Amino acid sequence: MRKIKVITDFPSAVSSPDYLKPLGAKQDNHSNKNYLKEIDGLTKNRPYAYMDLGCAGGKAVIDIYNKGNIACGLEGSDLNKMISNSSNGVADSWMSYLDICLFKADITKPFTVVDENGGLQLFDIITAWDVLEHPVPNDIPCVIDNIIKHLQYDGVFVALVNTVRGSHHQCVKPKDWWLSVFKEKGLMDVGFDMDTSPRHLTNPIQENDFGFMFKFE
């Protein structure tokens, strides 16, 4: 199976509340057959490369990797805090798959995923489930730059954004704001039509959520 590596000077998001006090990162470890089938369908059941931003326990990433695809889950929370007080198999996931398909990286800082030959690894599908609302607004452009850098030209970026204010949600913005910042970077929303998510067997858009599916204009 092809190997990848993440190159970054910032393996941890040290200024983030999620680093200081991991919440979802130590307990969210979701995957399901419906989601995996839908992801397969996005690339017409061909082998693909998949990256998940803010992957927490990374179970869906692991499942996609074990199906023979290139898979990369990125998480910037404090790993020691995550695994020392984890639930739902988060510790097992990271201890088994660290630097195989789960990697430490602050997605608000530049990073590079390289393939086994040292070349830039591009991804057919990049996802961010309940993640974009976590960085401060000024960090969002760098997050998008990282997405653009690693997205295949005909690839897709899928995101679900939560609008509930809280200590860990530092970028609670309306949908039009998100559409604008992505459009400025050359990505257009083609309509969120996912029927599932890693944690939802059916419609992932719950109360206080909205979704995006972006492609290059």
The ranges assigned to domains in the chain are: 5-216
Using an 8 Å Cβ cutoff, are 157 and 126 in contact? yes
Instruction: Catalogue the long-range contacts made by 39-47 (C-beta closer than 8 Å, 24 or more residues apart).
Output: 39/64, 39/125, 42/124, 42/125, 42/156, 43/124, 43/125
Distance CA 144, CA 128 (A): 11
Show the tokens assigned to 129.
């489930």
- What per-residue string of b and e applies to 41-78 under the rule 16 or more CB within 10 Å gives b? ebbeeeebbbbbbbbbbbbbbbbbbeeebbbbbbbbbb
Distance CA 89, CA 119 (A): 33
151, containing H or E segment = strand 151-162
Assessment of whether the complete model's pTM goes beyond 0.95: yes
Residue 57: the pLDDT is: 96
Distance CA 27, CA 87 (A): 5
Residue 177: the pLDDT is: 96
Residue 72: the pLDDT is: 98
Tens-digit pLDDT profile for residues 136-191: 999 999 999 999 999 999 999 999 999 988 788 999 999 999 999 999 999 999 99
Q: What distances in angstroms separate CA 31 from CA 73, 103, 201, one per listed residue?
A: 13, 18, 9
Adjacent-strand bridge partners of 48: none
How, if at all, do strands 102-104 and 111-114 pair?
Answer: unpaired
Using an 8 Å Cβ cutoff, are 141 and 181 in contact? yes
Q: Over 80: is that where the pLDDT of 2 sits? A: no
Where does the pLDDT of residue 25 fall: very low under 50, low under 70, confident under 90, or very high at 90 and above? Answer: confident
Tens-digit pLDDT profile for residues 100-130: 999 999 999 999 999 999 999 999 999 999 9
Distance CA 109, CA 118 (A): 20
Show the tokens assigned to 166.
């809280």
CATH fold, domain 5-216, is Rossmann fold (3.40.50)
Q: What distances in angstroms separate CA 47 from CA 21, 100, 184, one per listed residue?
A: 37, 18, 31
Using an 8 Å Cβ cutoff, are 111 and 6 in contact? yes
